[in-house]
Amino acid sequence: MYIYMKRKFLFLLVIISFFLLGIGLYNALNSGKIWFVYPSTSQYPIRGIDVSNHQGKIDWTLVPKSEISFVYIKATEGRDFKDKSFHLNWKKAKANGFFVGAYHFFTLCKSGKEQAENFISTVPKEIDSLPPVVDLEFLGNCKERSSMKDVSNEIQEFLNRVDSHYGKKTILYLTYEFIDRYIGPNFQDHPIWIRDLFKHPNTFSNQRWILWQYKSRGSLPGISGPVDMNVLNGELKILTLTK
């Protein structure tokens, strides 16, 4: 009986250990602390980052020592939030030779019209800037979950106003979860920036992804904390597409 109970205890201990190991591995992969994919530099030579106030003060004179060519900078979120580091990051990144664009974090709790107005009032209209980006994901978003039709209508309102103001097609930053819940077959006339930390991105029937975030905890000179790493699918000129 003693030997049986001991074996049973050891078996349960092994099962629990594997379970905890699996959770830890999943969290590490999902957070980008470890990764299984590194895009080929020959296939994807043009690389970039996206930054916000979360990165703290960036020494933009050091960042050019990396392989980075372009930078997307958080400008706004929701109806009235403005990233306090946006204007400084925008100015410094351009001054140090990077191709620069701005992104807006779209919240499900506010209208597309209000959010577009927030973005337009913050981001300068400059002909050499990269197309605007709208960040569409659940992480960090409000808990409200409307229907696909309602959310699609608000996103479309945002896109109509931002596209018209800047004269460029807004890029949709997407996760697979958000695509499944709210995007579906919609917005096929807008380019995609896909987040996939595990593998090469899935293809879409009529949409070609042009940006891929493959890592969320990259390390670069001039930036003290982790930073998102991205590659461009093609040449830089595809980011300058106008309407």
Residues contacting 229, CB < 8 A, separation 6+: 47, 49, 213, 214, 215, 216, 218
Cα 32 from chain centre: 13
Compute the CA torsion angle 197, 198, 199, 203 (nearest 10 deg): -70
Quote the pLDDT of residue 24: 47
Per residue in 33-64, pLDDT tens? 445 678 989 999 999 999 999 999 999 999 99
CA atoms lying within 13 Å on the CB side of residue 91 = 4
- What's the predicted TM-score (pTM) here? 0.84
The tens digit of pLDDT for each residue in 108-155 reads: 999 999 999 999 999 999 999 999 999 999 887 878 778 889 999 999
Phi, psi (deg, nearest 5) at residue 210: -115, -15
- Please tell me the predicted confidence (pLDDT) of residue 1: 58
Residue 223, C-beta contacts closer than 8 angstroms, at least 6 positions apart:
49, 51, 55, 58, 59, 63
